[in-house]
């Protein structure tokens, strides 16, 4: 099965951003930036690796998408992980900024922060569109009963 060009481009951008996050978080460990080492960093690092591992097969096949369509609980689990990653990323960056962690200052840290904000906004919009869709469906169903 051939992927759409827009899907491939979105996957490549997402995988590139996850690669940058992995590079940044690994570099913090390499330079010995102790003020940035905590459980939140570990979670974000693991999530980024997991995202890359899911993204690679999606570039070549629709197997992951088909699997998530078939097993919706797995998709819900990924959604929970994605939302958790957004929250934990925002908390992590807030923590290292509060601690005035100079060795963590980087364009990658700013990128992580803004990416988390953008993702939070996208999830918020998705929720609003879903609520609006349910409202319109309810309104439509009531009009059929009349």
pLDDT for residue 136 is more than 70: yes
Q: pLDDT band for 63, please (50, 70, 90 cuts).
A: confident
- Taking all residues of the chain, what is their mean pLDDT, rounded to a whole number? 92
- 1-48 pLDDT tens trace: 567 888 889 999 999 999 999 999 999 999 999 999 999 999 999 999
Which pTM was predicted? 0.85
Q: Quote the pLDDT of residue 2.
A: 64
As a whole number of angstroms, the distance between CA 141 and CA 97 comes to 50
pLDDT of residue 6: 87
**Is it the case that residue 75 has pLDDT exceeding 90?**
no
């Amino acid at each position: 099965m051939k992927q759409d060009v827009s899907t491939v481009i979105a996957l490549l951008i997402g995988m590139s951003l996850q690669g940058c996050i992995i590079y940044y978080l690994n570099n913090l460990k390499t330079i010995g930036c102790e003020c940035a080492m905590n459980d939140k960093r570990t979670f974000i690092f693991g999530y980024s690796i997991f995202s890359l591992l899911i993204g690679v097969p999606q570039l070549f096949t629709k197997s992951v998408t088909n699997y998530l369509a078939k097993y919706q609980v797995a998709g819900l689990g990924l959604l929970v992980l994605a939302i958790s990653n957004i929250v934990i990323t925002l908390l992590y960056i807030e923590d290292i900024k509060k601690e005035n962690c100079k060795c963590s200052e980087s364009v990658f840290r700013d990128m992580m922060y803004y990416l988390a904000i953008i993702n939070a906004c996208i999830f918020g919009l998705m929720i609003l569109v879903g609520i609006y869709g349910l409202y319109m469906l309810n309104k439509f169903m009531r009009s059929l009963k009349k």
